[in-house]
Amino acid sequence: MVPVSVRLGAVVPPEDPEDWTRPLTWVAALGMLAAPAVALAGFVLAAPADTTHPVAATWAVAVTLVAGAAAAGGTQLGRMRAFTGTLGAALLAALLVVIVGAVTAGERQVGSASPTLAHALAASLAGLAGASPAAALGAFTAGSWRRLWRGAAAAALGVVVTVAVLPGLFRP
């Protein structure tokens, strides 16, 4: 009996346990999970009290999100893989950051989001705004630069965009 996935033409190889012994696998995994970890620590230790301006945890989460996504994309070899790896890592991290913000929000409000959730969403949006140009630069340099340099350059560009976008998401 042949599995359905083989009959339909989508043969998926089993996960290789040796993949986790390679350092680049860990870099990609940590890049995707760094921002949610920073969000959890930041929102538990010092939850935002209002939504008028970004707090230190919001800045840290947004910058970590884009830098982690650039690091994850920098582990890829091809141009499209670097592009989609960066954007995919950023989207996963942004989703997890919003989930962490919702879980750590101590209060529930009707009609408006809690400050913790608002800061998580703003950090995610700013990080995604920075991840887009970072992904483009990572794809552009994928064939010619070393992984460390293209990841660092993509992260630097993404952080600049993120830092420019984040204050505009709050109104005084």
92 touches 35 (CB < 8 A): no
- Give domain status of residue 150, yes or no: yes
- Give domain status of residue 16, yes or no: no
Q: What is the pLDDT of residues 20-71, one digit of tens each?
A: 567 777 788 888 999 999 999 999 998 888 888 899 999 999 999 999 999 9
- Give domain status of residue 12, yes or no: no
- Give domain status of residue 106, yes or no: yes
Domain count, the chain: 1
- Give domain status of residue 38, yes or no: yes
7 pLDDT higher than 50: no
- Give domain status of residue 4, yes or no: no
- Give domain status of residue 49, yes or no: yes
Residue 155: give the domain boundaries. 23-169
- Give domain status of residue 14, yes or no: no
State whether the Cα torsion 122-40-51-68 is positive or negative: negative
